[in-house]
Structure 1
Amino acid sequence: MLRGLPFPADPLYMRGDMAPPPLLLLTDIRLNFGTTPLLAGASLGVGAGERLTLVGRNGSGKSTLLKIAAGLAEPDGGTRFVQPGATVRYLPQEPDLSGFPTTLAYVESGLGPGDDPYRARYLLEQLGLSGEETPAVLSGGEARRAALARVLAPQPDILLLDEPTNHLDLPAIEWLEGELRSLRSALVLISHDRRFLENLSRAMVWLDRGVTRRLDQGFAHFEAWRDQVLEDEEREAHKLTRKIAREEDWLRYGVTARRKRNVRRLGELHDLRKRRRERVGALGKVSMAAAEAGGSGSLVVSAEEISKTYDGRTVVAPFSTRVLRGDRVGIVGPNGAGKTTLLNMLTGNLPPDSGEIRLGTGLEMVSLDQRRASLDPAMTLQKALTGDDSDLVHVGGTARHVIGYMKDFLFPPEQARTPLGVLSGGERGRVMLARAMARPSNLLVLDEPTNDLDLETLDLLQELIADYAGTVLLVSHDRDFLDRCTTSVIAYEGAGRWQEYAGGYSDMVAQRGHGVQARASASTLAPARSTPAPLPQAGEALAGPRRLNMREREALKTLPARMDKLHAEIRKLGEILADPGLYARDKPRFDKASAMLAERQAELAKAEEEWLELEMLREAAEGN
């Protein structure tokens, strides 16, 4: 039995001792796609000034329900009521600006007779647009900003916002939060940005298996409530199964007694079986684990005074950092600041104009890019996962059937032959994750990994990063995701300057005094901080950092090649010992290889430690 707070019918709202009637009410909304029910009695009530969040899995029907609320889609059944005179504005996931000569004309087309025309220009300016842009050449982020200005300008009674933070950078997201808080409009939000929801929501509507449940508390309370609902439902399912088993036992052994009672009980059994058939089980959970390769060296990335300039504009001013094994480093900044450029330099995919990048030994890198560029729309889901349209996916060297692996990422078997081009944005995001997680790695590079993912998939991605033994470099605008996943944050400071802060996004704000700014004045910024030099040893404090002697300079030069050689030997010995029959077949060789492996691992650890100490001494002496 589905549980939760039911939505009242219209007459209940009209009682004098209750709250005033809602501005918008959807009741018993039903909609099928073919023979599959998407909405099976969903309801939504929005009162004046309410702040609602609509949550649910990707594909659960949230966007469809919001379109029905906006009057842009017709359900198969149910009713939609809007208070006479109430104004409603709707922000779609993909706004259509075609047919308008400028962004200002597009925004002004959403104004009513009594609306303030100056507010349209004001909002565009606040969102970084002049109003003279040609819509056809706008980026996804610019189109989203124009669409936001269009729905915000009239200050309507009800705002229906579908993923309003998509394609927005952190300054724009934080501005939008402030703007929405200042409005008297009722809000219905769909978003995967937890911090955004925590800051704005006052009630939750959970769309699950076609029906809605309401919680009159904010997002911070939602997950505990949802889990309790599912636990209660599971207990009900077990009780139903036990009752059916008892009735079936009676049917087999007691059907000859007192016929009238038997007929009634037989009818009850049929009813119970019908309830079980009609009960839609809770959707499975994403099962996500990265296939991990052997360990990398202690040093993963060393960047020394790297810089990058495009067309005379400094994207990265001289910047230094060091990334060690196990670090989780986030990169944040406004759109166009150069986050992806910096990420590509740190991973060796883009050479710096000046300075030096050194990558550690034994790195096996897996990347997830924000553009989903590697997904061929004509390719089937099965081929995207297997690579050759076979039945097997190789996950960390282990063969798995593609259908089982698809289920781990919530794809039903019938989607195996579905072209990627017809999948939703969230589904394509899960395909990218599934492909990335199958490849062995010790360095995960994630560029906007949270785009289009639902909250539960985001939870599991966060758990994956927490459990991952390797190193993670990521770009994200999701503040909650950064807080949960990063050990340090590299933030844009303006004029190409970047600075690293220990901790997550909130720690960065605490140290910095503010979040990511859209435009920073170069004159007010401190120079970008390089990696701090180590604390001086006893006896060095007064004399200052000493220079490397000749032996140390030679060691610093030759140690990287030595570490590469040791890592190759360790890998070869590991392959020998991976033979399951070696111990029984040739114990002396097994013992010798084991001893050599331990010896080489110790040598590698010593070499890495020596190299790091010398590198830090060199940086301190040169004042890097």
Structure 2
Amino acid sequence: VAPLSGGWKKRLAIASGAIQDPDVLLLDEPTNHLDLEGLRWLAQLLVQGSWAWVLVSHDRWFLDQTVNRVTELNSRYVDGVLSFPGSYSDFLDKRDAFQELQEQQAQALAGKVRKEEAWLRRGPKARTTKAKYRVDSAYALQEQLAEVSTRLREGSTELDFVGSGRKTKRLVVGEGIKKGFGHHLLFEHLDVVLSPGVRLGLLGVNGSGKSTLLKILAKILEPDQGTIKHAEQLKVVYFDQHRQELDRKLTLRQALSDTGFTVMYRDKSMHVVAWAKRFQFQPEQLDVRVDLLSGGEQARALMARLMLQPADVLIVDEPTNDLDIPTREVLEEGLKEFPGSLVLVTHDRYMLEEVCTQFIGFDGQGGHAFFAEYEQWEVWLRKREQRQRLTEGSVAGSSEERSRRLPTKKLSYKEKQEFETMEQRIEAAEALLEKAQGVMTDPSVVSDHVKLEAAVKALQSAEQDVERLYARWSELEAKRQGVPSSYSE
């Protein structure tokens, strides 16, 4: 077990619990260390399982795929709990309606308090029981309003990354990038252009080269081949998943402010206490050492530090580690509103789909492609895996195995001709698909919604052509080897 990665250790631990056929399976942050493939595996395991289970997770896509009831623990609710049946998306809709009702009730209460305060200012004397009761009720209403207002304000983080205001259209240009370690190729022939407004998500299993590409784009690593060009005096802000920007020996105060008293944000001076409060830190935490903070607090501290730096390009590597859902939601809004260019790596599929305008997907074997949507990458991966299985099956089939197969119709002359040209047709279709994917990275297309809509339709059409050809190839291959058609499915 020791040589296994964190993701595989997590899979093993979950599987060990599941095979005991429990009445109830309790899962505390089961998605930690799992890549996107691991998330799909776990979601399928839980949905198909026969046992009841309770899980704690901050992964919203995973919650949406698995649960039939969501319970949120939060001090902003009267009893500290809000629970609704349904998926996570259902919960969000019901929570929004609930919070809107709470705010309406708070406004009505505020109106009632104003009326009673006006009555109190007239100086009534509590000479009668009725008057005394009204005075007491007025003070009770004030306390109730203060409590409700505090509850509605609680837990809000403000994340607003500062752009430099640069108007340059080509901030980072990479051409022919190749990178590998030893005999393991991560990617090659990779071209990328980062322009203002481009929010690029990187997809792939752990170890496929996502974090490596981030470092190459930031000029922390050199590519083995190809070039990376930065616009003159480019300002890059890098959020490292290991949080190496944070000196853990410093206090929180020292980490946030070089002087320990003030910070400069948007050319304005702000006291460090006020700045820390924006990230849910209490004044008494300022003198606590960074290494004594929780993982989520360290992530918020790093964001607070990086937000002080104006940026042309944000490079963000696994920002959601240890973050709760409310902070993830605020982070999403901050990233979407950033006026420069963003490159994002995260296992949070919900965030990827909410934030990114385009994607690069890596297959872990040196291949890559560009996509307009996350689901397109999943289709691409399935087709590559299908093609690999077909190729391996074609080579591995033996005459002895073929002799044992059920008798079926062989290929007709026309089908033989079709089969012999199938691989070339697929290569041609994939070349057109790659060209359509390349159009999606053109800044002039991305910035023009009419051109972008046409490019998306062309990409979808190219993907359908490739999918159709693979399905036909699979059908012909099965028939050629004498496999019954039902088996080829």
Structure 2 length normalisation: TM-score? 0.72
Aligned mate of 2:47, from 181, 189, 203? 181
Task: Name the counterpart of 2:465.
Answer: none
Given that 1:485 and 1:504 are in contact with CA atoms closer than 8 Å, whether structure 2 keeps it comes out as: no
Letter in 2 for 1:189: L
**1:343-354 correspondence to structure 2 within 5 Å:** 343-354=214-225
Question: Using the alignment, how far apart are the partners of 1:371 and 1:257 within structure 2?
Answer: 64
Given that 2:207 and 2:364 are in contact with CA atoms closer than 8 Å, whether structure 1 keeps it comes out as: no
- Describe the shift of the 1:249–1:397 C-alpha distance in structure 2 as closer, same or farther (beyond 3 A): closer
Task: Name the counterpart of 1:204.
Answer: 70
- Describe the shift of the 1:523–1:430 C-alpha distance in structure 2 as closer, same or farther (beyond 3 A): farther
Task: Name the counterpart of 1:431.
Answer: 301
Letter in 2 for 1:372: R
Residue 220 (structure 1) shift: 0.8
Task: Name the counterpart of 1:146.
Answer: 12
Task: Name the counterpart of 1:236.
Answer: 105
Given that 1:334 and 1:516 are in contact with CA atoms closer than 8 Å, whether structure 2 keeps it comes out as: no
Task: Name the counterpart of 2:131.
Answer: 262
Task: Name the counterpart of 1:313.
Answer: 184
- Describe the shift of the 1:349–1:428 C-alpha distance in structure 2 as closer, same or farther (beyond 3 A): same
Given that 2:290 and 2:298 are in contact with CA atoms closer than 8 Å, whether structure 1 keeps it comes out as: yes
CA offsets per residue over residues 154-204 of structure 1, 9 Å max, x none? 232222222211111111111111111111222322222221111112122
Unaligned 5+ runs, structure 1? 1-132, 536-624
Secondary structure of the residue aligned to 1:181 is helix
Given that 2:162 and 2:338 are in contact with CA atoms closer than 8 Å, whether structure 1 keeps it comes out as: no
Residue 213 (structure 1) shift: 1.9
**1:390-409 correspondence to structure 2 within 5 Å:** 391-409=261-279
Deviating runs (4+, > 6 A) in structure 1?
520-535
Structure 1 length normalisation: TM-score? 0.58
Given that 1:494 and 1:521 are in contact with CA atoms closer than 8 Å, whether structure 2 keeps it comes out as: no
Root-mean-square deviation (CA, aligned residues, Å) is 3.2
Letter in 2 for 1:359: H
Given that 1:170 and 1:516 are in contact with CA atoms closer than 8 Å, whether structure 2 keeps it comes out as: no
Which structure exhibits the higher relative contact order, with contacts defined as CA atoms closer than 8 Å and separated by 6 or more residues? Answer: 2
Matched, 1:286 2:157: yes
Question: Using the alignment, how far apart are the partners of 2:125 and 2:199 within structure 1?
Answer: 70
**1:105-124 correspondence to structure 2 within 5 Å:** none
Secondary structure of the residue aligned to 2:343 is strand
Task: Name the counterpart of 1:160.
Answer: 26
Letter in 1 for 2:284: E
Residue 232 (structure 1) shift: 2.5
Given that 1:204 and 1:215 are in contact with CA atoms closer than 8 Å, whether structure 2 keeps it comes out as: yes
- Describe the shift of the 1:440–1:522 C-alpha distance in structure 2 as closer, same or farther (beyond 3 A): farther
CA offsets per residue over residues 327-386 of structure 1, 9 Å max, x none? 221111111222111221222211112222222334100000111122233322221111
- Describe the shift of the 1:515–1:446 C-alpha distance in structure 2 as closer, same or farther (beyond 3 A): farther
Letter in 2 for 1:352: P
- Describe the shift of the 1:383–1:142 C-alpha distance in structure 2 as closer, same or farther (beyond 3 A): farther
Given that 1:298 and 1:360 are in contact with CA atoms closer than 8 Å, whether structure 2 keeps it comes out as: no
Residue 149 (structure 1) shift: 2.5
- Describe the shift of the 1:462–1:479 C-alpha distance in structure 2 as closer, same or farther (beyond 3 A): same
Q: Percent identity?
A: 33
Given that 1:309 and 1:316 are in contact with CA atoms closer than 8 Å, whether structure 2 keeps it comes out as: yes
Task: Name the counterpart of 1:418.
Answer: 288
- Describe the shift of the 1:254–1:470 C-alpha distance in structure 2 as closer, same or farther (beyond 3 A): closer
Given that 2:24 and 2:53 are in contact with CA atoms closer than 8 Å, whether structure 1 keeps it comes out as: yes
Secondary structure of the residue aligned to 1:357 is strand
Task: Name the counterpart of 1:172.
Answer: 38
Matched, 1:379 2:250: yes
Matched, 1:331 2:196: no
Question: Using the alignment, how far apart are the partners of 2:384 and 2:322 within structure 1?
Answer: 22
Secondary structure of the residue aligned to 2:363 is strand
Given that 2:204 and 2:364 are in contact with CA atoms closer than 8 Å, whether structure 1 keeps it comes out as: no
Given that 2:314 and 2:340 are in contact with CA atoms closer than 8 Å, whether structure 1 keeps it comes out as: yes
Question: Using the alignment, how far apart are the partners of 2:107 and 2:383 within structure 1?
Answer: 49
Task: Name the counterpart of 2:92.
Answer: 223
Residue 461 (structure 1) shift: 2.1
Residue 241 (structure 1) shift: 4.2
- Range with greater deviation from structure 2 (177-186 or 222-231): 222-231
**1:434-473 correspondence to structure 2 within 5 Å:** 434-473=304-343
- Describe the shift of the 1:420–1:150 C-alpha distance in structure 2 as closer, same or farther (beyond 3 A): farther
Given that 1:203 and 1:217 are in contact with CA atoms closer than 8 Å, whether structure 2 keeps it comes out as: yes
Residue 246 (structure 1) shift: 4.4
Q: How many residues align?
A: 397
Given that 2:26 and 2:54 are in contact with CA atoms closer than 8 Å, whether structure 1 keeps it comes out as: yes
Letter in 2 for 1:338: G
Aligned mate of 1:505, from 360, 367, 374? 374
Secondary structure of the residue aligned to 1:297 is coil
Question: Using the alignment, how far apart are the partners of 2:287 and 2:320 within structure 1?
Answer: 26
Question: Using the alignment, how far apart are the partners of 1:484 and 1:245 within structure 2?
Answer: 41
Secondary structure of the residue aligned to 2:330 is helix
Given that 1:296 and 1:442 are in contact with CA atoms closer than 8 Å, whether structure 2 keeps it comes out as: no
Unaligned 5+ runs, structure 2? 393-425, 440-489
Question: Using the alignment, how far apart are the partners of 1:475 and 1:523 within structure 2?
Answer: 32
Letter in 2 for 1:291: V
Given that 1:201 and 1:218 are in contact with CA atoms closer than 8 Å, whether structure 2 keeps it comes out as: yes
Given that 1:308 and 1:316 are in contact with CA atoms closer than 8 Å, whether structure 2 keeps it comes out as: yes
CA offsets per residue over residues 221-275 of structure 1, 9 Å max, x none? 2223223323332333344444445445555657547623334444444544554
- Describe the shift of the 1:438–1:252 C-alpha distance in structure 2 as closer, same or farther (beyond 3 A): closer
Task: Name the counterpart of 1:47.
Answer: none
Secondary structure of the residue aligned to 1:496 is coil
Question: Using the alignment, how far apart are the partners of 2:210 and 2:84 within structure 1?
Answer: 38
